[in-house]
Structure 1
Amino acid sequence: MNYWTQLSFLNTKYAKMLYVIILSVLIVKILNRFIDGLFHRQTKIIKTNENRIKTLGGLLKSLLKYTVYFVALLILLDLAGINTSSLLTAAGIGGIAVGFGAQSLVKDVIAGFFILFEDQYQVGDYIETGEVEGFVEEVGFRITKLRDFGGQLHIIPNGEIKRVTNHTRGNMRALVKVKVSYEENIERVFSILREICEEIKTLEYIKEGPDVLGITDFGLEGIEFTIISKTTPLKQWAVEREIRKKIKERFEKEKISFAYFKAPLKGA
């Protein structure tokens, strides 16, 4: 008798509800393992940044988890005798009203997904986003956090980021312009600048150059020379500072005059 009672219980709505809960949990676990394995293989194949892969994998797992649980909830409500069709209709009407207010949120989330998926930038990169620039401290699906040189934290909705300039990808260019007086010997200035460039080449973060382009302008104050160099990301400013320092030291030693604006005397 007890045996048949147990069998009959297995066919009750409570048992079915228990099956749905157990099955939904198992499905989520299986999907999580599958996604982890899939993204792990992709990381090895395409050599993609591991943190970005983990973020994308986490997004996909969350999306699938909530989808499975939502479907399971509908089945449970149906088993409990609740009309899910009327609930979905009511939710749909309310969803339309909420949807208009949530458009910006959806826009931010979609933009954040593509920022991560396309690897536009990641934590540690130095970027410009139109009006704001700084180091990326956090990349979320809704917002991006930037820390500028002044220490200020900028929180930008991803949907408002229309254009990004990433200063951390590839080699950067250091550029220094120096003006000397028209009275100076051009060949002598050339020679000194080349010697300075040879000294600077020993810096570890210089990839190419520096080289003297030559005379690049004739101004009212004097003759302009330009020096360029390719550097590792974010080291262009350090190279420019070092070049300017060397130029100042050598020009003082060699008695070479920098060009400067001479204001005309009144009444002259």
Structure 2
Amino acid sequence: MTQFFEPYMKPEFISWLFLNLGKIIGILIGARILIQLGRGMIERLFAQSMRSRLFGEAKRLETLKVLSLSIVTYGIYFMVILMVLGVLGVNTASIIASAGIVGLAVGFGAQSLVKDVITGFFMIFENYFTVGDYIQAAGVGGIVEEMGLRTTTIRDWAGELHIIPNSQITIVTNFSRGKSRALVDVRISYKEDIDRAIEVLQKEADQVAKEFKETIVEAPRVLGVQDLGSSEVLIRVIAFTQALEQWPLERELRKRLKGALDQAGIEIPSPAAKVVY
């Protein structure tokens, strides 16, 4: 046992150990300082951009900030590992060369992964959508819960969670940008006075506009006769709301317009069943 530890008890080894240990501690301290400086610079840059809206909306800036912090942190960690290995006498040049060869081989086998990452980066940078937006992408519609470099997570109205590789997102329809259209079609009987029905509908629509003025961008308007059906006249009503507020307004309009027609004695036709004897 004494012979086993004897080489490690020599003054030369102890001197080498303490010297290299000091270098490693110095590298770790330097890395810690670099990480703090890098994080501070990124925080200040994005705080300034947030105030000036230089790069876009707040949610996109937050996503880019987290991504930048991760890149800086892991880049410094990688350099620290190489420097520590160099202090310990490991040939880091061969490791880097080997990593390049392995990376090339992996690259050929992981082209879809690379495509996911590149697509994800440009989606975030060019602000296609952000967390909380309601979008339609890759045949799925719902609220964006998470977006990363490789995948985007969308939860639909049924509560189902869809994890989509970014490379599969080729066309995005974003319903959370700008105003949204609310559309309601009302059917009345052919025997009713169309002008009177339009007047009743517009009066009720104006009342709805007053009550929902915080979410309505353009007040509901009765456009007129949209279609002549087999047993009914179709009258169309439209309005424009803030993003994602069109559906609550449509439900309210249907309820209120139906009540207004009932109160005015205007008939809403029901499908007639034909009995064959």
What TM-score bracket applies, with the shorter chain setting the length?
A: 0.7 to 0.9
Structure 2 unaligned spans of 5+ = 1-14
Q: Which amino acid aligns with 1:227?
A: V
Aligned to 2:81: 73
Structure 1 unaligned spans of 5+ = 1-7
Distance 2:68 2:245 in 1: 37
Of the three residues 11, 18, 30, the one matched with 1:23 is 30
How does the TM-score come out when normalised to structure 1? Answer: 0.84
Distance 1:72 1:13 in 2: 14
Write the mapping of 1:160-239 to structure 2, written as runs, cut at 5 A. Answer: 160-202=168-210, 203-204=212-213, 205-239=215-249
Question: Per the alignment, in what secondary structure is the counterpart of residue 113 of structure 1?
Answer: helix
Q: Which amino acid aligns with 1:137?
A: E
Aligned to 1:109: 117
Aligned to 1:145: 153
Of the three residues 250, 254, 257, the one matched with 2:264 is 254
Distance 1:260 1:249 in 2: 16
Of the three residues 52, 55, 70, the one matched with 2:63 is 55
Identity %: 40
Q: CA RMSD in A?
A: 2.8
Q: CA deviation at 1:142?
A: 2.2
**Total equivalences in the alignment:** 261
Aligned to 1:36: 43
Distance 2:58 2:251 in 1: 35
Distance 2:262 2:69 in 1: 65
Q: Which amino acid aligns with 1:249?
A: G
Please give the per-residue CA displacement for 1:186-221, whole angstroms capped at 9, x wherever unaligned.
221121112121221122322212111111222322
> Runs in 1 of length 4+ with deviation above 6 angstroms?
none
Question: Per the alignment, in what secondary structure is the counterpart of residue 123 of structure 1?
Answer: coil
Q: CA deviation at 1:133?
A: 0.8
Aligned to 1:88: 96
Q: CA deviation at 1:252?
A: 2.3
Q: Which amino acid aligns with 2:233?
A: I
Q: CA deviation at 1:51?
A: 4.3
Does the aligned pair in 2 maintain the 1:78–1:84 contact within 8 Å? yes
Q: CA deviation at 1:92?
A: 2.3
